[in-house]
A and B are shown apart, each in its own frame.
Chain A
Amino acid sequence: MRSSKPLGVAAMAAAAALTLTACGGGDSGGEGGGESTAGGSGESVRIGIKYDQPGLGYRDGDEYTGFDVDVAEYVAGELGYSEDQIEWVESPSANRENMLANDQVDMIFATYSITDARKETVDFAGPYFVAGQDLLVREDDSSIQGPEDLEGKNLCSVTGSTSAQKVKDDHPGANLVEQPGYADCLTALESGQVDAVTTDDIILAGLASTDANQGKFKVVGNTFSEERYGVGLPKGSDRCQAVNDAITKMIEEGAWEEAVTENTEGADYEYNRELNPPTPEPCA
Chain B
Amino acid sequence: MNSKLTMGLTHVFLIIFGLIWIYPFIWMVSSSFKTNASFLTSGSNPIPEELHWENYARAWNVANFSSYFLNSVIITLGTVIIVVLLSCLTGYALGRVDFPGRKTIIVITGALMFIPTGYTIIPLYELMKFLGLSNTIFGVVLAESSGAHVLFILLFAAFFSRVPKEIEEAATIDGSGFLGTFFRVILPSAKPVVATAVIMQFIWTWSSFLIPLVLTLNNPELRTLAVGMLSFVGKYQTDWTGMAAGASISLLPVILIFIIMQRYFIEGISGSVK
Q: Do A and B come from one complex?
A: no
